[in-house]
Structure 1
Amino acid sequence: MLLYMSNSAAEAQSTPLHSVSVAGVVVREDGKLLTIRRADNGAWELPGGVLELDEAPEAGVRREVWEETGIHVEVDELTGVYKNTTRGIVALVFRCKPTGGEERTSRESTAVTWLTPDEVAESMAEVYAVRFLDALDGAGPHVRSHDGKRLTPAR
């Protein structure tokens, strides 16, 4: 049996699938950073999640931060693009300012707290801590890749 495929169908099969996520590095006036402990794996990370198909990145950041932490934010600027090469996730990270709300947990977070940059570096995996630190250095936007555990060198 011969199987024929149109060019567009063949191209679609060879195109890698990626998902796009957004996250917010929320910086308080005292320099502390908003962090969550994820409900699914217990890891400390920045709040964020999958961008909806019809959603602008900045709107997605505002939604995700509020859903996971109870904090409303103003989105300032894109500070980095991070690709998980193992899972095919491209994360857009934005620096934000808190504008209101109260810290609370959600289905996705078991703790919400404000940490210093040093505490972030000590309590998080390298691939997540670097997103906070990149957002603070003012030299971005940064573009980095990782395998889910370690940053990989640029090629």
Structure 2
Amino acid sequence: MHSVSVAGVVRREDGRVLCIRRRDDGSWQIPGGVLENGEHIPDGLRREVAEETGLSVEPIRLTGVYLNVARDVVALVFLCRVGSQAGEASAQTEESAEVSWLTLAEIRERSVPAFAVRVLDACSGAVEPAVRSHDGVDLIDTGFGWPVPR
């Protein structure tokens, strides 16, 4: 059985994207996590981003659906804007060792391809959400033919 996670790509006007460095493995990712039982998708997204960064956000649109075949997790990724009650981003929980606004180049350098592509897809301007599979590190070619944005 698959679990469903949500994650938010929060991009500032200067192009930098909100990222966390996970406390458990040191990896850089966008904030997000698994939905709780009965939780609505936008509510889970807001909760996860707030728990990991201290920011309130509002989803703008779905930008991608990602299947981690190694963990049986389907991730729904949304482009988000900072909410009206925002404030400053900071590490809030045991999950986030650090919170930072990174450039797209920094995200490519610090994140594995399976996670960097989520940000690149969200920032690409594509109208349709990307649909991708990965093994937790690398993308898996499923024959859809959607290129990885640069």
Please give the TM-score of this superposition, normalised by the length of structure 1.
Answer: 0.87
Look up the match of 1:101: 87
1:126 aligns with 2:113: yes
Pick from 84, 88, 102 the counterpart of residue 115 of structure 1.
Answer: 102
1:51 aligns with 2:31: no
CA distance in 2 between partners of 1:87 and 1:32 (Å) = 29
- Between Structure 1 and Structure 2, the one with more helix by share is 1
1:95-129 per-residue CA deviation (whole Å, 9 max, x = no partner) reads 00112122121211000000111111111110000
Amino acid at match of 2:20: I
> Highest CA radius of gyration, 1 or 2?
1
Q: Report the alpha carbon displacement of residue 83 of structure 1 after superposing the two structures with TM.
A: 0.3
CA distance in 2 between partners of 1:87 and 1:74 (Å) = 28
Unaligned runs of 5+ in 2: 144-150
CA distance in 2 between partners of 1:115 and 1:23 (Å) = 16
Look up the match of 1:66: 50
Look up the match of 2:147: none
CA distance in 2 between partners of 1:56 and 1:76 (Å) = 16
Q: Secondary structure of the residue that 2:51 maps to in structure 1? A: helix
Which aligned runs of 4 or more in structure 1 are off by greater than 6 angstroms? none
Pick from 14, 27, 30 the counterpart of residue 14 of structure 2.
Answer: 30
Q: Report the alpha carbon displacement of residue 86 of structure 1 after superposing the two structures with TM.
A: 1.0
Amino acid at match of 1:46: I
* Aligned residues with identical type, % of pairs: 55
1:142 aligns with 2:130: yes
1:56-113 per-residue CA deviation (whole Å, 9 max, x = no partner) reads 1111111100000001111100000000001100000000011212212121100000
Amino acid at match of 1:149: V
What do you get for the CA RMSD once the two structures are aligned? 0.9
Amino acid at match of 1:137: S
CA distance in 1 between partners of 2:78 and 2:37 (Å) = 18
Please give the TM-score of this superposition, normalised by the length of structure 2.
Answer: 0.90
Look up the match of 1:13: none
Paired positions, count = 139
